[in-house]
Amino acid sequence: MRFLALLFVCGLVHTASADPLPNTKPLTTEGDLAKQMVDGIHKYLDRELEAAQKKQGGTKPDRERLKHILGVVDPRVPPNLEYVSGPDKPSLLAEREGCKIHAVRWAVLNGVDAEGLLIEPKEKPKANLVAIPHAGQSPEEVAGLAKGDDFGFRCAHYGCRVLIPTLIDRDDKYSGNARLGRRTNIPHREFIHRMAYEMGRTLTGYEVQKVLAAVDWFEKQDAKLKMGVLGYGEGRFIARYAGAIDERIAVTDIQQEIVRTFDPKLIDQPIDRNVWDLVSASRSLTADGYFAGRSLTGYNGALEPTWPGPRMGQGLFHAAPGKLVGIEADPGHPLRNDRKKFVEYNVFLPLLKLGPQPTIDLAPTEINLDHVEPRHKRQFDQLAAFTQNLWRLSEPVRKDYWKKADASSPEKWEQSCEPYRNYFHEEAIGKLPEPTMPLNPRSRPIYDTPKWTGHEVMLDVYDDVFAYGIVLLPKDLKPGEKRPVVVCQHGLEGRPTDVCNPKERTKYYNSFAAQLADRGYIVFAPQNPYIGDTHFRQIMRKANPLKLSLFSFIIRQHQRIIDWLETQPNVDPKRIAFYGLSYGGKTAMRVPAVEKRYCLSICSGDFNEWIGKIVSTELPMSYMFTKEYDMLEFNLGHTYNYAEMANLIAPRPFMVERGHDDGVGIDEMIAYEFAKVRYLYENRLKIGDRTELEFFVGGHEIHGKGTFAFLDRHLKWTPK
């Protein structure tokens, strides 16, 4: 071992050559390694999604889990339906073929109603039905009061009592904040989805709740009548989940291809259809799974509406990509111009024991539709307000979640945090299997300075997935000497060279890795895969249905980096620290929370009241107004804000670096969230010297003053 150490050191004291580091193969991969890293992760996920399509059944229905991932978790209020009328507008909008059509609203959640139409058949109801429109399709169209597919009225014509809810559409009129001057092109459905997802809810789940509240009311009227849900487009998705969750629903209309297994096309569709861990849940969405003993109908997914994607232009680029491709993309499709066959009520109604029904041809009874837009705005505002309130009330929920953590000593704290750490890794981040393939290290020189040399290093993680970075090695290392390591992490769209450049103080980063190497530290600067804009962000769309995220891969990459560092003869494995800026600061909160071999963590330019930054529509720096949809992490709001992530880092040293003018947040929010960290370290664990918040005059950048002193103190290092 001494011989290997000597070889290692000898390789450092010479000027850089084409030789790799000792015990590594030559790194010969050319091209943009960052892009290749992102490409490799996509290939991994593509294989997993393809494999998921081949798995059908094999899991028992778990309605509680399905409700959890959809966010159907809030208690519904007692069933109540009201007729909506005004001074000059009665609730009875029209009467067709003896059926009466009323404007109604029914209670759903505290502060949330469903609004739409009730169609009462001309005779005593023979069955109850929720007819669910597509997003942007008005209940009036479904009821035959406007041009379109009047499948709701047709069902009422044959004896069903029908409720038709309003769904949130994909316009973007309300997606912003006029007071803050923030305007976006984020569709309404995505706008609600973003804030809801972070709080453990989904827009789909909210609309399922509206359907189930209708079922509650129907049951209150006559529990003996059969219950059905029938939908078109988005309505068919809502019908699928409502029928799976609630066994009172006897007949469900649903796309058969999605019943059979997970639909891989979902990752290219609007992001509001994104569901965490959907692949696992979909294996039981079968006729003998969630729907066992009940009736299903539906037909090919080609009978879907189209949507070209978010509105573009005028400097608006905030929305996630996604579109709907239906039969209108196929001019030769036999049903292209026959909207009345989009919803096959002739197949559906006999399952409600109404017998086969002939096709009828009725012209719509058109009415004034001035009330449609205000109704939709009320529905949008209610869901936004409900979700914003979830954020405002989330802190006591997190406190209750953390009540089993034992702060009687640092040792007991760390031990009692293990279940929280496991949950964070598995349910918030998503846990990939342990890498089993050899590290297969490859390297090549990149820098040679008077004090240190730099080598690019590549390590294998999984097939097509690798870790990559630059290691900086002081030239004065002695055989057998053990030095601390600082892992220096770049931010969004960054590269290791941004933090390592020895020739200039780089923008934002001030070449802090090079500065630390000048002080005698061994440094490793990893490439993280948040580079390539939409290309990397779409990893989230492929990963989330598999119960994974971008950080599922980043954690394993860092694990492999530490594995390799621990094999190096001059590395002290107990003194490997983490320091990251911006998205690297986001990494500083998540990776050390899981990977305990990082002996301390420094978060620069990112620490925040994180849940508010994701969810709030009242903060100008909120991600609700930007294109960073990759930031979403399911239900983080009720489990792990940044203070709770710091809980997982404790009792190891933890520091925050904050420029007063850094636009990622405001001083008050950062100080408020850090006060909870300080309270844990100083008051509960009695280790106040292990945590620090440094404010400095400046912006979004590495300051490198208090943080360098923090590293020196806790890594027990005297700079050279």
Answer whether 672's CB lies under 8 Å from 619's CB: no
Query: Residues with Cβ < 8 Å from 157, sequence gap 6 or more?
Result: 96, 97, 99, 121, 360, 362
The pTM assigned to this predicted structure is: 0.94
∠ CA 644-650-652 to the nearest 5 degrees? 145
pLDDT grade, residue 614 (50/70/90)? very high
Query: Could you give the CA distance from residue 411 to residue 49 in angstroms, rounded to a whole number?
Result: 41
pLDDT at 662 over 90: yes
What's the confidence (pLDDT) of residue 89? 80
Give the largest CA-CA distance in the chain: 96
Write the pLDDT tens digit of every residue in 512-551.
999 999 999 999 999 999 999 999 999 999 999 999 999 9
The length of the chain in residues reads 720
What are the structural domain ranges in the chain? 2-50+395-714, 63-392
pLDDT grade, residue 139 (50/70/90)? very high
Cis omega before residue 651 (within 30°)? yes
Answer whether 234's CB lies under 8 Å from 193's CB: no
Residue from 488, 640, 459, 647 nearest 556 by CA? 459
Least confident range from 153-162, 682-691, 697-706: namely 153-162
What's the confidence (pLDDT) of residue 357? 66
Q: Give the 3-state secondary structure of 250-282.
A: CEEECCHHHHHCCCHHHHHCCHHHCCCCHHHHH
Least confident range from 45-54, 163-172, 606-615: namely 45-54
Strand 483-489 relative to strand 452-462, pairing: unpaired
Q: Which tokens is 497 given?
A: 């060279």
Domain 63-392 has CATH 3.40.50: yes
Q: What letters, b where the CB count within 10 A reaches 16 and e where it falls short, cover 483-515?
A: bbbbbbbbbbebbbbbbbbbeeebebbbbbbbb
Write the pLDDT tens digit of every residue in 400-413.
999 999 999 999 99
**Strands (DSSP E) along 247-393, which ranges?**
251-253, 295-297
pLDDT grade, residue 141 (50/70/90)? very high
Element (H, E) at 183: strand 182-183
The residue ranking higher by pLDDT, 109 or 315, is 109
Write the pLDDT tens digit of every residue in 329-360.
445 544 444 544 456 666 677 777 777 666 66
- Helix, strand counts (H, E) of the chain: 24, 21
Write down the CATH superfamily of domain 2-50+395-714: Alpha/Beta hydrolase fold, catalytic domain (3.40.50.1820)
φ/ψ of 470, rounded to 5, equals: -120, 130
Q: Which tokens is 292 given?
A: 């066992």
Neighbours of 365 (CB within 10 A): 18
HSE (CB half, 13 Å, CA atoms) of 594? 24
Query: Residues with Cβ < 8 Å from 622, sequence gap 6 or more?
Result: 612, 613, 614, 615, 616
Give strand pairing partners of 94.
101
Write the pLDDT tens digit of every residue in 454-494.
999 999 999 999 999 999 999 999 999 999 999 999 999 99
Answer whether 636's CB lies under 8 Å from 645's CB: no
What is the average per-residue pLDDT within 608-632? Answer: 96
Query: Could you give the CA distance from residue 542 to residue 552 in angstroms, rounded to a whole number?
Result: 12
Answer whether 267's CB lies under 8 Å from 545's CB: yes
What's the confidence (pLDDT) of residue 58? 65
Query: Could you give the CA distance from residue 576 to residue 485 in angstroms, rounded to a whole number?
Result: 5
Write the pLDDT tens digit of every residue in 413-453.
999 999 999 999 999 999 999 999 999 999 999 999 999 99
What's the confidence (pLDDT) of residue 315? 76
What's the confidence (pLDDT) of residue 317? 86
